[in-house]
Structure 1
Amino acid sequence: MKDTRPVFQQVLGPGWDQLGEVIRRHYAMAPFSNAHVCVRGTMDEVHHAPWARVLMPFGSLFGALVPYTGTGVPIEVHYRCRPGNARLYWDRIFSFEGRAPFHFRSHMAHAAKGGGEVIEYVRFGIGMRLAVSAEEGALVFRDLGYIWRLGRLRVPLPLGLLLGTAYVEERPDPHDADRFTMKMVLRHRWFGDVFRYSGRFRLGPQ
């Protein structure tokens, strides 16, 4: 029998009710449906370390890295479900000044029934395992390592040695019930922040 509860409700279990209301609302999409939610906002910062430019050709190939830097960058994020599966699909559209809109697309799947883990995939089956938790109303993701999906196999990849460890959070704005903040950082134990971005979003009428 198909479980049509929102993906993160399945992953978090009782922790779902500990999330801020705006976080629950923009993830309250039923799997196996045509549900769609869009949030709009501004990235206060999109940053990567200067040496990380050498990674951009690989990031472009796998669709995994935002190749530009900037401040005050307008962004839309589209979240979608699809009738044929239980995955959650992202399309993040960054509008850097003087450039064509940049799309960062991925999809997320529940790693195991009853476990608080998801895997976010980009092109060619490259994925990041993420532990998911609800913390003070925020939805928090912590990096558990990279994999390569080959059929039913999940082959561990040592990409963290180069990219570092990811941390992501979406946190309700305590002053506005329709807004939340988001930040992502890839931090290397020796080289510091490799990539990071942060911003403010509004969930409007859908």
Structure 2
Amino acid sequence: MMIPSEGELFKKILGPAWRQLHPDIQARFDKNPLPGKPLYYTGSLSELRCSRFGKLLGYLSMPFIKGALMPYNDADFPVDIQVYSRQNCPSIFKRRIYRLHARKPVMFTSFMSESAKGEVLEYVGMGLGMKLVLEVRDGNLHFESDGYFWELFGVRVPLPDVLTPGKTFLCHRNNSSNQFDIRIEIRHLLFGTTFTQAGVFREVTP
């Protein structure tokens, strides 16, 4: 069984557009985390913001998907990321530890996989997830959500947009061979921007 990597999945989804990515980004995603040998990244968030509606959603969802929607406003705090695989599992897992000021660290784990239709799916917990559309712009990698769903017994049930946090926009922008920026914005159809995260990261050797 092939060891999974985000790069293999992204190459398949992007097709020829993969070659338009900055070579540093290609190399970064080409790394396959062996089971028991995760990849480590560290950095800091310069911005963590949520609107009043986002704060409400964050607190309501915390018992189910703690960390996916953080109902806090903070800045300039460390974040550690671990990317790993599991034996005989095609998914790629990403664990983030947010070390906010004056709060206990918040840990959030999601995993990414390919659907039978060749879609990129990211699951955030309790069967909740979103379909992601990938695009390359100016050599950087962009993700946009294309609908949220709740998966029950292998069946994906679409969620109405108005009942979700909003459309997710993520940009992975390259700075150097060992440093990159991440910016995430979630924008609701009625309530505007609900969540924002922005930070800079680098790969570290354990």
TM norm structure 1: 0.86
What RMSD in Å do the two structures reach over aligned CA positions?
Answer: 2.3
Query: Which segments of 5 or more consecutive residues in structure 1 lack a partner in the other structure?
Result: none
Residue of structure 2 in register with 1:38 after alignment: 40
What are the Cα deviations for residues 5-50 of structure 1, in whole angstroms up to 9, with x where unaligned?
6332333233333322332333224377445211111111000002
Residue of structure 2 in register with 1:49 after alignment: 51
TM norm structure 2: 0.86
- Mapped to 1, the partners of 2:94 and 2:38 lie a distance apart of 10
Q: Please say if 1:168 is aligned against 2:170.
A: yes
Query: Which segments of 5 or more consecutive residues in structure 2 lack a partner in the other structure?
Result: none
Maintained 8 Å contact 1:127/1:148:
yes
What are the Cα deviations for residues 115-163 of structure 1, in whole angstroms up to 9, with x where unaligned?
4x31110221111111122222212111100111112211111144442
Residue of structure 1 in register with 2:10 after alignment: 8
Aligned length: 202
Residue of structure 1 in register with 2:113 after alignment: 109
Which deviates more from structure 2 when the two are superposed, residues 37-46 or residues 151-160? 151-160
- Mapped to 1, the partners of 2:162 and 2:35 lie a distance apart of 34
**Residue 139 of structure 1, aligned match among 138, 141, 149:** 141
Residue of structure 2 in register with 1:202 after alignment: 202
Maintained 8 Å contact 2:94/2:109:
yes
- 1:69–1:22 distance in 2 versus 1, CA, 3 Å: farther
Matched position secondary structure for 1:27: helix
- 1:15–1:160 distance in 2 versus 1, CA, 3 Å: farther
Residue of structure 2 in register with 1:91 after alignment: 95
Matched position secondary structure for 1:30: coil
Q: Please say if 1:24 is aligned against 2:22.
A: no
**Residue 73 of structure 1, aligned match among 77, 97, 100:** 77
